[in-house]
Chains A and B, each alone.
Chain A
Amino acid sequence: MSALLARLIANRLFWPIVMLLVLFTINLIAFPGFFTVTLRDGHLFGSLVDILRNGAPTLIIAVGMTLVIATRGIDLSVGAVAAISGAVACSIMLGSPEPGNPATVAVAITVALLISLVLGAWNGFLVAVLGIQPIIATLILMTAGRGMAMLITEGQILTVNSPPFKALGSGFWFGVPIAVIIAAVVFAAAALITRRTALGMFIESVGINPEASRQAGVRARGLLFVVYTFSAFCAAIAGLILTANTAAADANNTGLFIELDAILAVVIGGTSLAGGRYTLAGTLVGALVIQTLVTTVYTVGIPPIATMVFKAAVVTVVCLLQSPTTAEALTGFRRRLSIRAGKGVAAS
C-alpha cells in the first residue's frame, strides 16, 4: 500500500492534480452546485464548462509554450502574436462587403494563421540561426508586435459583426463550446505528433543537451524553427478565440499577460524551465489550475482584481518546490527521519 502511495507521489502529475482537487474542494464548499452540469437549449452549462471554455485560449498557448520550453527556450511574444492575429482577422472582415459570410471569415482566419507562421518562423530564425537567447529574441517581437497590431487596427478597437466568427468564441457544437473543441484538437494533435513519433524525443534531447544531440545527428536548427512556428500558430488560434469572444480586436489588451499565464501553466504542470522532459498532460492540468484559481477567487468572494497576487503566490510556491535546494533539504530531512527510526540510510 505504501509502495503504491510512494509511486503515486513520485508521479510528476501528482502535485498538480492535488492542487486542482484542493481548488475544486474549496469551490464545492463555497458553492455546492459547483459540479452540476446541466443541458439547457442543447448547450452544456455549469461552472466546469465555464472553466474549460475560459481556459481554452491559455491552454492552447500553453501547449505551444510547453514544446518551446522543452527545447530550453521561452516564447514571450505569444500575447503580441495573439493581438496581431485578432487584428488581421478583424480588419479583413471589416474590409469586405459582407463580414457575416462564412467564406470571408474563412479567408480572414486563414490569413491570420499564415501571418502567425511567418512571425513564428522569425522567432525561430533569431533563436536557431542567429543564436540569440530565446527570452531576448522573443522580447523583440513582444515589443514590436503590439506596435504592429496597433498599425493594423490604426490605433482603434475594431468591432466586427460577424456571427460565424463570433461562434469561435461563444458558439456551441453538439452542446460543447467550440473554443473547448478547438483546444482539445490542438492538444490531441500536439500529443499525437510529438508522442507517437520520435519528434517529442528529439525536442527533449535538444533541451537536455543541444551539443550532444547535434553530434547524435538531431537537426536542432530545423526543430527550433518548427517549435517556435508552432508556438506562434497556437498563439494565433488563441488570439482568434479571444477576439471572437468580445467580437472586437483590441491591439493593446488582447492577450495581455497571457504569456505569463501560459508559462505558469507549463511550470505548474511540472515541465522544468531548464528544458528537457516535458509533459503535455501536466500542462493541461496546469492550465485548468490557473483557470480554476480565477474562478475560485470569484466564487469565494475575494475581489477578482486580487487574482494576480494569488498567481504570484502560486508561481512562487511551485518554483520553490521545484528548486534543487528544497529537494536537497527534503532528502536530508527524510534521511534523518529514517535514521531516527532505526532503519539507517540504506533504507531510503
Chain B
Amino acid sequence: MTKLLDAPERPARTGGRGGPDNPAARQGVVRSIRNLLTSPKYGPVTVTAVLFVAIFIIGGVRYRGFLSGQVFLNLFVDNAYLIVLAVGMTFVILTGGIDLSVGAVVALSGMIAASLLQTGWSPAAVIPLILVLTSVLGLLVGLMIHIFKVQPFIATLAAMFLARGLCYVISQSSISITDATFVQLAVARIPLGGNMSITPSVIIAVLAVAIAVWVLHATRFGRTVYAIGGSEQSGLLMGLPVARTKVLVYVISGFCSGLAGVLFTFYTLSGYPLTAIGTELDAIAAVVIGGTLLTGGYGFVLGSVLGVLVLGVIQTIITFEGTLSSWWTKIFIGALLLVFIILQKVLTARRR
C-alpha cells in the first residue's frame, strides 16, 4: 500500500528521462516492472524465470544442439522426482517449517520397493504401501512438531536418521529391480511428436504439481497454509484450523517424498541405502530459488518447479561444457542459494 501512496512523487524524479512519444505510459510500465521486481511475492520468482531463460539462451549460443525441445524436456525427465519433492517442500516452507528428512525418505522408499519386489510382491501393492508408510512417517513428524513443540528441523532430522537407519536395516548393498512393470515404466517413452518424448514419471510429476496448485490456491486448506506462514498467531485468532494444517503439511511432504522415491526407482531401477544424500538440500534450494520465502507466507508451487528447472539447466550446462567437473554443480547451487536468500532479505526489508 505504501507504494501507491508515494507514487505521485516518482514521476517528478524520473520525468525528465521519459520517452518522447508517451512519457506517462512508459513511466507506468517502468513503475509496474519495478513494483513487480521489488514485491516479495513476485520479485524472486520473476528473477528466477528471467534467469532460467537467460541460462537457456546462453547454453544455446555456446553449445550446438542445446536449444532443442528434447533438452528442455529432459530437464523434466531427469528431475521428475525432484519436482515432486519440491512440491512437498513448498507446502512445508510456506508454513515457515522445514523438512530435512526428504532425501532419506526417498532412499527408504527405493529400498522398500526393491526389497519387496524381490520377494515377489506385486507393484500394485508395493507402491500404495510405500505412499501410506511415508505419509504415516510425515504424520508422526507433524505430531511431534505440533503437539510437543519440537523445532521442525530437529524433528525432521530424527526422521532422517530413522529413515536412513531403516535403509541399512533392509540391506547394506544395492538391490536391483527386475520386476516387469517397473522396468516397463522405466524404459517407456511417450512420444510428443517431432522426435520429442517424455517418460511416464514426467506425467506423474506434472499431475502432482497441478494438484498442488489447485490445493494451494482453490481450497480452504491452501489458504490456511499461506495464513500460517504469514502469522500463525493471527491464523489462530481468526479461528483457522492451525493445528490440523500444520500437521497435514508434513503428511503431504511425507507423501511427496514417497512418491518421489517411487519415481526415483523408475529412474535408477534399484534401491541403495546411500542414494539421494543431499537431495533435501536440492529440494530446499529449488523452493528458495523458486521464490518461496523461508519464513513462510509467500511463494508458489510453480516457482518451485522453475527452481528445479534452473538447477537442472545448470547441471545440463556443466554436462555440455564437458571440461567442468560435476562438483561445480554443488558450488553453483550454493552460490545461487545465497544470491536468492539475500534477494529475499532485501525485498522483505524494503517492504517493512
Contacts and interface: CB of A to CB of B under 8 A. Distances in A.
Main secondary structure of the interface of A (DSSP, over half): helix
B151 interface: yes
B166 A323 contact: no
A190 interface: no
Given A155-B325, A324-B149, A315 B154 contact: yes
B149 to A, nearest CB: 6
A312 B161 contact: yes
Interface string A274-311: 10000000000000000000000000000101111111
Interface in A105-130: 126, 130
Contact of A140 (B164, B277, B334): B334
Contact of B327 (A133, A142, A151, A303): A151
A325 B148 contact: yes
B249 interface: no
B150 interface: yes
A29 B151 CA distance: 37
B161 A130 contact: no
B114 to A, nearest CB: 16
Contacts of A136: 284, 288, 294, 337, 341
A147 B161 contact: no
B158 interface: yes
B158 A315 contact: yes
Contacts of A148: 331
Given A135-B98, A309-B166, A144 B330 contact: yes
A182 interface: no
B342 interface: yes
A320 B149 CA distance: 9
Nearest to B164: A308
B23 to A, nearest CB: 38
B328 interface: yes
B172 A305 contact: yes
A147 B162 contact: no
Interface string B309-340: 00000000000000001011111011101100
Contacts of A303: 168-169
A132 interface: yes
Contacts of A319: 144, 148, 150, 154-155, 158
A139 B337 contact: yes
Contacts of A141: 334
A154 B328 CA distance: 11
B153 interface: yes
Contacts of A332: none
Contacts of A313: 162
Contact of A267 (B154, B328, B329): B154
Interface in A129-181: 130-133, 135-137, 139-148, 150-151, 154-155
Nearest to B169: A306
Contact of B345 (A132, A139, A150, A309): A132
A249 interface: no
B342 A260 contact: no
Interface string B279-303: 0010011001000001100000000
Nearest to A325: B148
Contact of B330 (A143, A154, A320): A143
Nearest to B329: A147
Contacts of B69: none
B218 interface: no
A81 interface: no
B295 to A, nearest CB: 8
A138 B65 CA distance: 38
A305 B169 contact: yes
Interface string B151-181: 1011101111110111011001000000000
Nearest to A154: B325
Nearest to B328: A147
A269 to B, nearest CB: 14
A316 interface: yes
Contacts of B169: 303, 305-306, 309
Contacts of B335: 144
A133 B159 contact: no
B1 interface: no
B281 A143 contact: yes
B147 interface: yes
B128 interface: no
Nearest to B273: A305
Contacts of B162: 308-309, 312-313
Given A144-B333, A307-B165, A135 B153 contact: yes
Given A133-B294, A139-B337, A312 B330 contact: no
A312 B165 contact: yes
A155 B324 CA distance: 12
A235 interface: no
A136 B338 CA distance: 9
A151 B328 CA distance: 8
20 contacts: A135-B98, A136-B337, A140-B337, A141-B334, A142-B281, A143-B278, A144-B333, A146-B330, A147-B331, A151-B327, A260-B161, A305-B168, A306-B165, A308-B162, A308-B164, A312-B159, A312-B165, A320-B148, A320-B150, A325-B147
Sorted nearest first, the 10 A-B pairs with minimum C-beta distance are: A144-B334, A308-B165, A147-B330, A309-B165, A305-B168, A150-B327, A312-B161, A312-B162, A323-B148, A147-B331
Given A305-B168, A305-B172, A313-B162, 16 more contacts: A133-B294, A137-B341, A139-B284, A140-B338, A143-B281, A144-B330, A150-B325, A150-B327, A155-B327, A306-B169, A308-B168, A309-B165, A315-B158, A315-B161, A319-B155, A323-B149
Interface of A: 74, 126, 130-133, 135-137, 139-148, 150-151, 154-155, 251, 256, 260, 263, 267, 273-274, 303, 305-313, 315-316, 319-320, 323-326
